[in-house]
Chain A
Amino acid sequence: MADTDSFVHLARPLGPVAVGSAPTTAPVNVVIQPQALFSVLDHSLRRNADQERVIGTLLGTRSDDGTEVEIRSTFAVGHTETTDQVEVDMEYQKQMLALHLKANPKEILVGWYATSSELNTFSALIQNFYSGQGDGTWPHPAVHLTVSTEAGKDIETRAYISAPVGVTAERAADSAAFIPVPYEIRYGEPEKSGLEAISAARDAEERSVNLFTDIEALERAIEEVLGMIDRVSRYVESVIDEEAPASTALGQYLLNTLALAPKVEPADIERDFNNHIQDVLVVSYLANTIRTQMELSNRLATAQLTLGGESGSTETGNQRGGQRGGKGGRGGQQRNQERSGEETRA
């Protein structure tokens, strides 16, 4: 990820296609979701001490025309590698895939990953297995993702697809031309809050962080915005002082941003503000009233039988208490209904 090299990517290589079917040459774009990358990194941490790299299966979705592959999750597959042979636990891979499909029927096999940037004969062998017919991704190309996790160096992610090379069938089995494809890391709205919490731990010494409460998160966001405003105003000031080069584009952009500030009548603001703040406070007040009422009613209900059982008077007293609690609750409910009605109108 440290340097996303730019490379020409005009047409994707043809996969091992059967004669007759028209192959597409549309480029492939790979989208990686962060949790997939995280689990690759986690797997890399859990490798056996003598292992150079570990491999695993990539799962995700492929767009209908096959031009975009989204990697959603991964699982590790055990393998052993010696200087002259490689052994991948295929049985394991099959079982795990079946287990995974049970829970996530929508995610299909899209390729595999390895935790070193090196591409060698073994990579080609495994790649040919994953892109093969039957259990592989055929007729779509298998995506190969390499994430280098060497200590002391940058983590480098690369995505490849492959084309068959080799003159004879034996040679073709253990060789493949890996073609780099562009990739991007993309995440959805829901993951944003999670990533934020995770990245908050980034600079901490012990690499861990507690979760924020709402108000703390608000404070952080405001501080961040203030920081950005400061940066922009420093830049603008230095341009005015002719210390930094001016840019019309930036100026225009800033103007556009400033124009976003709404122009409203003070009276309107005052009214809307008062309405809203009242709504908010009333809901809060009611919620707490309801809570108290319910607790009271439950307390009265459980308190009764210790005193009760001996005379009818305590029982009726408690019944009344229960009813009162109920009535209070109902009163709150009515008021609340009015209130939420008002909100829907607002």
Chain B
Amino acid sequence: MAEKETPLTAVKVEALVVMKIIKHCSQTFPTTATGSIVGMDVNGVLEITNTFPFPVVEMPAESHFDNTAPNPAAAAPRAKSNAAYQAEMIRMLREVNVDAHNVGWYTSANMGNFVNMNVIENQFFYQKEMNERTVALVHDVSRSAQGSLSLRAFRLSPKFMTAFKENKFTSEELQKSNLRYQDIFVELPVEIHNSHLITSFLHQLQTPSQSASTDLPPSLAALESGPFVKDTVLAPNFDNLTLSIDPFLEKNCDLLLDSIEAHNTETNNFQYYQRSLTREQTKINQWQAKRKAENASRAALKQPALPEDEWQRLFKLPQEPSRLESMLNSRQVDQYARQVDSFVSATTGKMFAVKGNLLPGEIAK
């Protein structure tokens, strides 16, 4: 295939897909919802034309692990039963002329908290097992509730893919590959695309209110219960003018605190590793010194020398903990910080506007 060479540059999402994803994600909010997306790859632009949700499978809990996924839906995309479901669904869709080509999966998120092992493993699974050219669409329900739709497309970078495949996340390997947390994901720009029919449909939704706007309402009650108040289809959305900022900041602080805790755990783990490494190292040095002294005395007595590399069998160096978690954590914090930034930039503007409005003259000074 010739198109294999052009890398994916953008994602074009049909209006239908946007609506379906929003519906599914907000229905199950705050639990994570996942689903599959189908579409086509046209010269590096991934066109996503349809989608269907994954059923939530009750996975047998691995009882001896404490850290099993609390939510089976989060792991759904790589569950075996869902691969079958997906294949079946795509086969069915093919019969009614829907693009029968799996191009990835979607997940819901809450305040951008999607950078975790589940997402990585799912996307890894997709990029490795199914098709290299797949994306993960992330729909952030809480952020969309603030006014502007949050839908983002991610892929794992090739660098990260190779590292993840070989599980190379020791400090040394990271140093060699120069992989940083910024390199985990590649974000693709998302574009929303309407079909001709939907365009014409949207235009028609608008017309009734314009054609009927001539006669004046007879009374206040009539106005309040009239068609203009109720006719909310495509009414402009002013959610992003709202001034309630506390819930958002609170939530963000909570999430940041969680991340800091995770970071501390990781740091402690690493420090523990370093301490035990030093301990072992000293032991080895002592042993080597002892062996050397012994050999020296044996040489004096004209006896054959004992091997000096036996320590490799006697001592075992501790395994270095994987740095993947802390990398993901950094990426997550980065995400939160950017989120706060963009929120703050909008909020300060709004707040100054309110102040200027309520205290006219103050600003002019």
Q: A103 to chain B: which residues have CB within 8 Å?
A: 35, 52-56, 85
**CB proximity of B285 to chain A, nearest CB, Å:** 10
Does residue A218 face the partner (Cβ distance < 8 Å to B)? yes
Q: Which of B29, B52, B201 has the most CB of A within 10 A?
A: B201
B337 touches A43 (CB 8 A): no
Taking CB atoms, residues of chain B closer than 8 Å to A340 are 249-250, 253-254, 257
Within A33-85, the residues touching B (CB, 8 Å) are 33-35, 37-39, 41-48, 54, 56, 72-73, 75-78
User: B253 and A306: CB pair below 8 A?
Assistant: no
Residue B270 CB within 8 A of the other chain? yes
Q: Find chain B residues with CB under 8 A from A76 CB.
A: 96, 98
CB distance from B307 to the nearest CB of A (A): 23
A279–B202 contact, CB under 8 A?
no
Residues of A within 8 A of B350 (CB): 218
Select from chain A the residue with minimum beta-carbon distance to B196.
A207
Give every chain B residue within 8 A of A41 (Cβ-Cβ).
16, 195, 197-198, 201
Interface size class on chain B is: 35 or more
Select which of B203, B250, B267, B329 is within 8 A of A322 by beta carbon: B267
B310 interface hit (Cβ, 8 Å): no
Q: Which residues of B contact A301 (CB under 8 A)?
A: 171, 267, 270, 323, 326
Minimal beta-carbon separation of B270 from chain A (angstroms): 6
- Name the one of A78, A190, A213, A333 contacting B148, with C-beta atoms under 8 angstroms: A213
> Does A188 count as interface, using CB distance less than 8 angstroms?
yes
- B148 near A38 (CB under 8 angstroms)? no
Task: Determine whether the beta carbon of A343 is less than 8 Å from that of B250.
Answer: yes
> CB of A165 within 8 A of chain B?
no
B345, CB-defined interface residue at 8 Å: yes
Q: Provide the main secondary structure of the chain A interface.
A: helix
Structural contact, A1 and B147, CB atoms closer than 8 A: no
- The reply to whether B193 and A208 form a contact with Cβ atoms under 8 Å apart is yes
Q: List CB contacts (< 8 Å) of B312-365 with chain A.
A: 323, 326-327, 329-330, 333-334, 336-337, 340-351, 353-355, 358-359, 362
In the complex where A38-B15, A96-B92, A280-B351 touch, is A298 in contact with B195 (Cβ < 8 A)?
no
Enumerate chain B residues within 8 angstroms of A194, measured Cβ to Cβ. Answer: 18-19, 22, 144, 149
Determine the chain B residues whose CB is within 8 A of the CB of A26 once the complex forms: none
> Contact: B347 with A208, CB < 8 Å?
no
Does A214 contact B260, Cβ atoms closer than 8 Å? no
Contact A270–B359 (Cβ < 8 Å): yes
Docked-complex contact A330 and B201, CB < 8 angstroms: no
Q: For residue A4, which residues in chain B have a CB less than 8 angstroms away from its CB?
A: 208
| Shortest CB distance B361–A (Å) | 10
B234 within 8 A of A: yes
| Cross-chain contact B151 with A253 (CB below 8 angstroms) | no
Does B4 lie at the interface of the complex (its beta carbon under 8 Å from any beta carbon of A)? no
A198–B190 touching, CB < 8 Å: no
Q: How far is the CB of B40 from chain A (nearest CB, A)?
A: 12
Is the pair A284, B189 in contact by a Cβ cutoff of 8 Å? no
Q: Is B294 an interface residue (CB 8 A)?
A: no
A43 contacts B15, CB within 8 Å?
no
Q: Please tell me which stretch of B64-72, B114-122, B216-224 contacts chain A, meaning at least 4 of its Cβ atoms lie within 8 angstroms of it.
A: B216-224
B residues near A207, Cβ cutoff 8 Å: 193-196, 199
A190-B141, A346-B246 known; A302+B147 contact, CB < 8 A: no
Inter-chain contacts of A306 with B (CB < 8 A): 172, 175
Contact with B along A99-131 (1 / 0, CB 8 A): 100111000000000000000000000000000
Which residues of A sit under 8 angstroms from B144, Cβ to Cβ? 190, 193-194
Interface segment out of the listed B157-165, B236-244, B298-306: B236-244
Q: A1-B205, A211-B190, A269-B359 are in contact. Are A193 and B263 (CB under 8 A)?
A: no
CA distance A56 to B268 in the complex (A): 58
Residue contact A277 to B148, C-beta cutoff 8 Å: no
In the bound assembly, the distance between CA atoms of A45 and B50 in angstroms comes to 13
Task: List, in ascending order, chain B residues with CB within 8 A of A39's CB.
Answer: 16, 20
Query: Is A195 located at the chain interface by the 8 A CB criterion?
Result: yes
B89 at the interface (CB under 8 A from A): yes
Which segment, of A12-20, A175-183, A285-293, faces chain B? A285-293
B257 touches A197 (CB 8 A): no
In the bound complex, how far is the Cα of B323 from the Cα of A303, in angstroms?
12
Task: Name the residue on B nearest A332 (C-beta).
Answer: B260
- What is the chain B residue whose CB lies nearest that of A48? B97
Q: How far is the CA of A248 from the CA of B55 in the complex (A)?
A: 56
A202 touches B336 (CB 8 A): no
Q: Which residue of A lies closest to B236 (CB)?
A: A224
Structural contact, A281 and B359, CB atoms closer than 8 A: no
* Contact residues, B70-129 vs A (CB, 8 A): 85, 88-89, 92, 95-98
Q: Which A residues lie within 8 Å of B196 (CB)?
A: 45, 207
Beta-carbon contacts under 8 Å, B245-286 to A: 245-246, 249-250, 252-254, 256-257, 259-261, 263-264, 267-268, 270-271, 274, 278
Known: A201-B194, A297-B263. A269 touches B355 (CB 8 A): yes
Q: Are B23 and A253 in contact (CB-based, < 8 A)? A: no
Question: Are A252 and B95 within 8 A (Cβ)?
Answer: no
The residues of A that contact B172 with a CB separation of less than 8 Å are 305-306
B138-171, CB < 8 A from A: 141, 144-151, 171
B6 beta carbon closer than 8 Å to chain A: no
The closest CB in chain A to the CB of B249 belongs to: A283
Report yes or no: B333 in contact with A249, Cβ–Cβ below 8 A.
no
Contact at A305–B171, with CB atoms within 8 Å? yes
- Residue contact A294 to B333, C-beta cutoff 8 Å: yes
A184 to B338, CA, bound (A): 40
A191 to B16, CA, bound (A): 12
B192 CB-CB contact with A under 8 Å? yes
- Nearest Cβ on chain A to B37's Cβ, whole angstroms: 14
Is A158 an interface residue when CB atoms closer than 8 A count as contact? Answer: no
Any B CB within 8 A of the CB of A329: yes
Contact B245 A276 (CB under 8 A): yes
Whether the pair A298, B197 counts as a contact (CB closer than 8 A) is: no
Q: Are A202 and B96 in contact, CB atoms less than 8 angstroms apart?
A: no
Contact of A290 among B89, B146, B197, B256 (CB under 8 A): B256
Q: Does B327 contact A298, Cβ atoms closer than 8 Å?
A: yes
* C-alpha spacing A305/B174, complex, angstroms: 10
**7 A-B contacts, Cβ less than 8 Å apart?**
A43-B96, A72-B23, A194-B18, A209-B192, A301-B270, A306-B172, A339-B253
With A39-B16, A92-B92, A305-B172 already in contact, 14 other A-B pairs whose C-beta atoms are closer than 8 Å: A34-B19, A72-B23, A193-B239, A207-B194, A207-B199, A209-B191, A215-B346, A247-B216, A247-B217, A253-B220, A301-B267, A326-B263, A336-B256, A344-B246
